[in-house]
Every structure is written in structure tokens, then in C-alpha cells.
Structure 1
Amino acid sequence: MNNQQQVSPPVAIVTGAGVGIGLAIAQVLAQKGYRILLNDLDPTLTQQATERINGSFPASCVGLSGDASDPSFIEQLVEAAVEVFGQLDAVIANAGITIYGDFLTYKPSDFERVLRLNLGGSFFLAQAGSRQMIKQGQGGSIVLMSSVTGHQAHKNLVPYGMTKAALEMLAKGLVVEVSEFGINVNAVAPGATVTERTLEQEDFVGIWSSITPMGRPASPEDIAHAVAFLVSKEARHITGQSLVIDGGWTSVSPSPYK
């Protein structure tokens, strides 16, 4: 049984993976031979993303739509991964929400939504994933999705930035909780990234190209390849770290606001 587990293709859960960075992460992992349990809140996006991956890569992908901030649903995600694929090797807590708002008028209901998904969803997915990896006895990897807004102040994004900074502390804190079980935990902090959502902003690419030292915002694949490395066997001695992927923006930090 142990020999079979060792040679089986690895299994990863990716939340918030219907579009954007999450979908790119699932695609890159599938390309590298991972079997994927893909989650998105939107059932249509979940189905479309799953079909897209299964139509492009030999590794299998199963979709499960639901609220990644709900601890009971998170348990279902882990149980489904094990039921379908027999194991769990990596967890990528990508699901998150951005709610812009002025600090002085920010609504308690919006504050609670941001914390519930960005922090609570990531915390309890890491918890459930760790429990399964400990049960298997083979170690594993967890990646939390932070942001440059957790490093630099960004107008109208104070609660969001708070959650992203906290996720980086979560990655550090889990070092003393799960390292003995062979589980490494890291955070990735994307900068401006071209996705369906960000392209809705006026001249997003032009503005961020002009203020990013590397001359362009990130692509989802820029983030996805970094995540794929952090969950690989080659990165197993890397833990408690936060990797900023922003083309150098946080080194100089010019504001996109005029």
C-alpha cells in the first residue's frame, strides 16, 4: 500500500480555481502530472474549468463547487479528494475576496465577509489538509495566497491587506505546528496580475506596466509556476516563507493612484 502511494501521481486541492490565478495554478499542476480537485463557488465556472483541464492534460481533474469559507464544506473538499484519488499531497488556498472601501465608512458586513473567506477559509483548509496528510504519513505541502497589499499600503484595501499580511504570519506559525509531520507551508504574494477581474479596471495593463520595474504586470502563469515549485519535492526544505511575485513593484512602490 505504501509503495502504491509513493508512485501514484500527486493530488492537489485548489480553491477559487474557476478563473484567473486559481485556474492557472490548477492547469500548471495538471500539466506536471497532478490530479486536481478543483473548487469554485460558481458551479458553471467549476464545470467549465474542470472540462478545460481534462480536455488538455492527461491528469484527471474533478470539480466540486461550494463555499470555501465554510469549514463544513472544506471538510467535504478534503474527503472528496481522498475518496476520488485516494490521497492528498498539496493544498492551495487560493479562494479570496476583495471588497474595496474607504476606511472611515467600511461596513461591518463587508469586513466580516473578507475575514471569513480570506482568513477563515485559508486557515481551516490548511487545518483539514494537514490532518489528512498527517494521517497518510507521507508529508505534504500547503500554499497560502497572500498579496503585495500585505506588504505595502493600498488605498481602499485596508481590510483586504490585513488578511493578506495575516496569511503570511499563518505560514510562519504553522512551521512549529506541522513541520514534524513533513508538511511545508509557504505563502505567495502576487502583485498586479492580469486576470478577467483586473481587466475590468480602466487601463489596468497600461498603468501597471508604467509603474512596474519589469515593465508589465504579472500573468496568472507567473504566479502558478511559483506555486508549482513550492509544492514540489524540490522545495520541501522551504517552509514558513513568503514569496513576492510583482516584477519589482514592492521595491519601489509607486502608487497607481494619481
Structure 2
Amino acid sequence: MPAPSRDLTDTVVAVTGAGGGIGGATVGLALEAGARVVAGDLRADGLDRLVEEWGPGRLVTVVGDVRVETTAEALVAAGVEAFGRVDSVVANAAVGFYGGILDYSSEQVELMVDVTVKGTVWLARAAVRQFRSQGGGGDVVIIGSVAGLMIGGGKEAVYSATKGAQINLGYALDRELRSEGIRTTVIAPAGVNTAFAAADGRFGEGDPSSGPFMEPADIAGAVLHTLQQPRRMRTELWTMWSLAEKH
């Protein structure tokens, strides 16, 4: 007997940071599962590639900066306009820089805090407004990191602080919203082979594509599994590690 699974056909999923990596993989798996998707990103080029691959029928895109509250509102509004509703949001957009507490510029610190923390808060607020308006509950999925649990590597204090904020936001939202049928899940992976991970300096001269790290599709699969859980259950925090990593 197969495990019970919630059908995502024609449900509407909005994803930030969808232009590549985990976000792009999440968009693809959601579409394969029959969902309709609103894909958001700061830049249009990654979104254009998604449209080229999947076509415009069940996919709409929104270009915008998640640091601005109106971007989250536009993402949700695009789903409502195109598909009549939004059932799930995935807060995936994030920024991280690797280095000691004094190695970041003030601009880099502000960028990490604003994108990762404010961007998640704005999306959650826009989603909850829509969920309450349409009824039937919904899902808020946050892509966090094990760094937010103080079990990441060193030299990532500010990044860890932003990821810790996401985890605590998720727990608090769960307590606030679960009675309304709104589920909040934080998925917290360790090292993932993405352009994000390669660019932030944490691997030094190493290449994450050659290391024993997870792939974006692994994390996207966890997102889809979370959304496909029967609505009688929820996952609060899911940590994910490659088999070779230690903590």
C-alpha cells in the first residue's frame, strides 16, 4: 500500500529565488507534479530559461527584489490573477558571504539581513493574507540552513544569524497559524552544489560540484514531499546532510 500523498495537480506554488539552483529545481518538480507555479527572481534571465523549458501555460514569472515588500505582494497577486489562488509559497531567495565578522562590508551585512530575513517575512505576510482570504489553509516553506542551528562551519556568523532568524520565524509562525490549517516548514540543508555555494567563498579553491555535497534536486524533492503530505500532518524542521558531511 503506497504512503498517502496529497495531489498537487492545479495547486498554485509561488517560489522566490527561482532563477537557478534550488529554486529552479523546485519550480521544475512542482510543474512535473501538476502544480501551477509563480516563479520570482531578481533577474529575468533565469526566469526566461524556465519559460523556455516549461512553456508559459502553467508558469508565470515575476521579476523583483525580495527586499521590497511589494515584490512579495506582486508574486502572490500574479498567482491570483493567472490561476485564481495561491496555495503554497517557498521562500528560497537568500544571500550569504563567507568570512569573519569584520570581513564583510556594511553593504554585505545589510544585503544578507534584508534578502534572507526581510524577504522571508514579506513573503510570509503576503501568503497569509491570501490564505486567509481564500480559505482552506496553505503552506509556507522556508529554505533555511543548518548554519542557523549553530552546526555549520566557522566564519559565517552573520549568515548563521539570518538563517537562525528564518528557523525561529518558522517555529513562531507554526504556533501562530496551524490552527488555521496553515503549515510552516523550514528545510535546512547543509552543503548543496549550487552557484550560491560556489560563489560565497566557503569552499575556498575547491569546487562544490566535485565534493560530496547534495544537489539542488535533493532539496527541491524535500519541498515537494512537504507539500504532498496529507493536510492532517506537518513538518516543522527538516535538516538535510550529505552522507559524507560531519557535524
TM range (shorter): 0.7 to 0.9
Cα RMSD (Å) of the superposition? Answer: 2.2
| Aligned partners of 2:193 and 2:209 also within 8 Å | no
In 1, Cα distance between the equivalents of 2:137 and 2:209?
43
Q: TM-score, normalised by structure 1?
A: 0.84
Shift of 1:153: 4.1
Matched, 1:227 2:223: yes
Show the counterpart of 1:246. Answer: 241
Shift of 1:206: 7.5
Show the counterpart of 1:22. Answer: 23
Instruction: Tell me the percent identity.
Output: 30
Q: Give CA-to-partner distance per residue, 1:206-227, whole Å, 9 cap, x none.
A: 7742xxxxxxx11111101110
Show the counterpart of 2:183. Answer: 184
- Higher share in helix: 1
Structure 2 alignment gaps of length 5 or more: 1-6
| Aligned partners of 1:142 and 1:231 also within 8 Å | no
Amino acid at match of 1:243: W
| Aligned partners of 2:62 and 2:74 also within 8 Å | no
Show the counterpart of 1:122. Answer: 120
Amino acid at match of 2:172: G
| Aligned partners of 2:9 and 2:35 also within 8 Å | no
Count of aligned pairs between the two proteins: 236
Q: Give CA-to-partner distance per residue, 1:5-64, whole Å, 9 cap, x none.
A: x99710000000111110001101111011000011111111112222228xxx611111
In 1, Cα distance between the equivalents of 2:42 and 2:82?
20
SS of corresponding position for 1:63: strand
Return closer, same or farther for 1:162/1:7 CA change in 2, 3 Å cut-off.
closer
SS of corresponding position for 2:131: helix
Q: Give CA-to-partner distance per residue, 1:67-92, whole Å, 9 cap, x none.
A: 11210121111111101110000000
Structure 1 alignment gaps of length 5 or more: 1-5, 210-216, 254-258
Shift of 1:106: 3.0
